Homo-oligomer: A and B are copies of this chain.
Amino acid sequence: MASLGDIGVAAGFNVLTALAFLLAFAFLRLQPINDRVYFPKWYLRGMRDNPVVSGAAVQKFVNLDGRSYLKFLNWMPAALNMPQDELINHAGLDSVVYLRIYITGLKIFVPITVLAFLVLVPVNWTNDTLGHNNVVYSPIDKLSISNVPNGSKRFIAHLSMAYVITFWTCYVLFKEYEIITNMRLRFLASEKRRPDQFTVLVRNIPPDPDESISELVEHFFLVNHPDHYLRHQVVYNANKLADLVEKKKKMQNWLDYYRLKYERNPSERPTTKTGFLGCFGSKVDAIDYYKSEIEKIGKEEAEERKKVIKDPKSVVPAAFVSFRSRWGAAVCAQTQQTSNPTVWLTEWAPEPRDVYWNNLSIPFVSLTVRRLIIAVAFFFLNFFYVIPMTLVQSLANLEGIEKALPFLKPLIELHFIKSFIQGFLPGIALKIFLIVLPTILMFMSKFEGLISQSSLERRSASKYYIFLFFNVFLTSVIAGSALEQLKTYLHTSANDIPRIIGDSIPMKATFFITYIMVDGWTGIAGEILRLKPLIFFHLKNLFLVKTEKDREEAMDPGSICFDSTEPRIQLYFLLGLVYAAVTPFLLPFILVFFGFAYVVFRHQIINVYNQQYESAAQFWPSVHGRIITALIVSQLLLLGLMNTNDFEQSTPVLLVLPVLTFWFYKYCKNRFEPAFVRNPLQEAMMKDTLERAREPNFDLKAYLANSYLHPVFKGDEGDDRYSVVDDDEWMGEEVIVPTKRHSRRTTPAQSKHEGSDSLSVPESALQR
């Protein structure tokens, strides 16, 4: 175990690194040349232009104003100053609620830290168990529960503390859930008219031999939602078209680049080679070449575009159906349409930006199979990833390499290379895996068939959390790979598992303190420095940026990356809750993390990140759920720890806590979660009524016309020659539903059902 001195050294080192990062940041952000790296959000919002500085040319790149360097930390109050409403307006509700995760951390842990230091530290400190046992110990251990003798009555203090922690955490979580629910509802209510308020996504439209999907959708909704149906938008499978558009765009960029080059140096007409990467093949005139290429692709694209629109096979069995009122859409999204619950599945349409187009056409059976496959795959990824890792590592050791590639032997035998391979290679394999992990998890989520970016990120986040829990937290605590743990769990009885883990918890406190400082302090300071985007921006600026548009694209503001950042915050909640009653000394380190990260991320959200979508805090239920999970884990581990410390009387007392906590979870789920999933009719009706009163003649149909078109059909140019709106096909009011069915189906309507000749519904609706 590390001594207090070791921790001091580590703390000093980390604080210094963090400070160095902050200083570097303070210096770099003041240089105009870096403006687009540190303030991209403002550029994207159109509120900032290239820094215009009157003076020497050098001032365009370097800030020579000495005074501005003196106040190198003034970004902090600036970040904290923006009021909440303005922040929501500026960055969206998602970002603001994301920041509240840190605030929740502070709210939970500040009082717990104070109480733990007031109560538990004296209780632990005034024992002398560790001294008696002749083990090597540090003052930190004297502060921890390990210093209390086995079976001592003093454990009652820890028990009470566990109760206080549970109730306080639940109280804070309840309040936060309430606040965030209200924020979400207010946000949704204050929102202007948005296409997704009127639109429902329909999936798994069953095939019909007599009608196209578009006709089928129209008939179905005219029959079953006669007073509310407005229009629909079929979904095209436009993946190939999107590729072509992308390719054309790239060519256009090269063309712009060469034109620019030619303008700057008109004496020489630029040339390029037609082969791979412009390095091989015959030499041609660059501008002419790209012009002809663009023309060629343009033709191809137009053809494909025509094909997609005309060919009924390119229409996937899904559609965005819009309604006359929010009420109509809310009804359709929440109800079951037909007696077969696997077809005509309706759900609230995601924001147009948020739609993940590729997954819209997956049929129902395939969805459930995919879910099974991913569940099994994730299980193996989580518990068995060490196996390929070990293989790679065994290959990456010296003998392995020498055997596989014998000609490298003399090289490897060199001392420097040898130590490098031995020291780094095994670690690098793991490191690469961990860096790629969020991508793998995101791929898994995509394979599962979720249809919005936001839900993809949420699903990936829960997978990542599970991975971190087993492969970082538990692996660090009981020092074994997840696979070994799995074996242990299977071979150990249910009540021994918390005992085994709980037993080693106090001993790992110093390790986790170091972890918090490295990952939570220095890591966060590194986040604000944005080293990677900084380097990439300047590299692109030097070598690749040809046009102003390119520079715009080179900015790469990034986003919060909920799927990888949130689970890492959750790890701190877990550590804090687990150690609160065991080693309170760890808590201040977590407090520093939450406070510091809050300021840093607030700054980033204001100045840097550009969210790709707005889900109105839909992720909160899972954040809440994971904190509850951490709480229950901490209770079970404390239970195990108490048992190893011969204080078994505590078991029934402590068992109450997880039961109550789980009940609290269920209660919150019932109480708040519907607000994040369903859309209440009252709200919808209210907005409808107000809007009808204010703008009685608003043309909703025109407003919704192109909103759910696949992005490739929209185009940046705003040309409407690609608009595939089939508005003219049907008129708004009082449609007599036409049926295009063949005679064999149309006739019986008159003969079979008495009186049904007065109905104008098509037979198709009466088939089921």
Contact = CB atoms under 8 A, between A and B. Distances in A.
B376 A339 contact: no
A425 interface: no
Given A493-B492, A682-B338, A755 B689 contact: no
Nearest to A335: B334
A185 interface: yes
B678 A335 contact: yes
A381 interface: no
A758 interface: yes
Name which of A492, A667, A675, A758 has the most chain B CB atoms within 10 A of its CB.
A667
Contact of A368 (B491, B663, B690): B663
Interface in A512-558: none
A685 interface: yes
Contact of A670 (B331, B341, B375): B341
B690 A756 contact: yes
A631 to B, nearest CB: 17
Interface string A683-694: 101100110011
A330 B335 contact: yes
A115 interface: no
Nearest to A189: B339
B341 A675 contact: yes
Contacts of A271: none
A372 interface: yes
A368 B672 CA distance: 14
A765 B386 CA distance: 59
Nearest to A490: B495
Contacts of A761: 689
Nearest to A659: B376
Contact of A489 (B494, B667, B680, B694): B494
A732 interface: no
Contacts of A341: 670-675, 678
A766 to B, nearest CB: 6
Contacts of A342: 670-671
A768 interface: yes
User: Which among A223, A339, A686, A766 has the greatest number of chain B C-beta atoms within 10 A?
Assistant: A339
A337 B492 CA distance: 49
A680 B334 contact: no
A339 B341 CA distance: 26
Contact of A337 (B225, B670, B681): B681
A759 interface: yes
Instruction: Among A371, A494, A756, find the residue whose CB has the most chain B CB atoms closer than 10 A.
Output: A494
Nearest to A365: B667
Contact of A336 (B334, B689, B756): B334
A452 interface: no
Interface string A481-503: 00000000111111110000000
Interface string A646-677: 00000000000001000100110011111100
A311 interface: no
A663 B365 CA distance: 12
Contacts of A753: 690, 693
A492 B339 CA distance: 47
Contacts of A371: 666
A679 B755 contact: no
A720 interface: no
A674 B336 contact: yes
Contact of A685 (B670, B681, B756, B765): B765
A325 to B, nearest CB: 11
A486 to B, nearest CB: 10
Contacts of A6: none
A729 interface: no
Contacts of A243: none
Interface in A321-338: 327, 330-331, 334-338
A490 to B, nearest CB: 4
Interface centre among A491, A681, A753 (most CB of B within 10 A): A681
Interface string A370-411: 011001100000000000000000000000000000000000
B494 A337 contact: no
Nearest to A491: B493
Nearest to A367: B670
Contact of A335 (B368, B681, B754): B681
Contacts of A690: 753, 756
A227 interface: yes
A224 interface: yes
Interface in A718-768: 753-756, 758-759, 761, 765-766, 768
B685 A768 contact: no
Interface string A324-361: 00010011001111111110100000000000000000
A301 to B, nearest CB: 40
Contact of A689 (B364, B376, B686, B759): B759
Contacts of A754: 694
24 contacts: A223-B682, A223-B685, A331-B335, A335-B681, A336-B678, A336-B681, A337-B680, A337-B681, A338-B681, A338-B682, A340-B675, A344-B682, A364-B670, A371-B666, A372-B663, A493-B496, A682-B765, A682-B768, A685-B765, A686-B768, A689-B759, A689-B761, A693-B755, A694-B754
Those 3 A-B pairs whose CB atoms lie nearest each other, nearest first: A341-B674, A490-B495, A693-B755
Given A686-B765, A690-B756, 8 more contacts: A337-B681, A339-B675, A339-B682, A340-B675, A372-B663, A493-B493, A683-B768, A693-B756
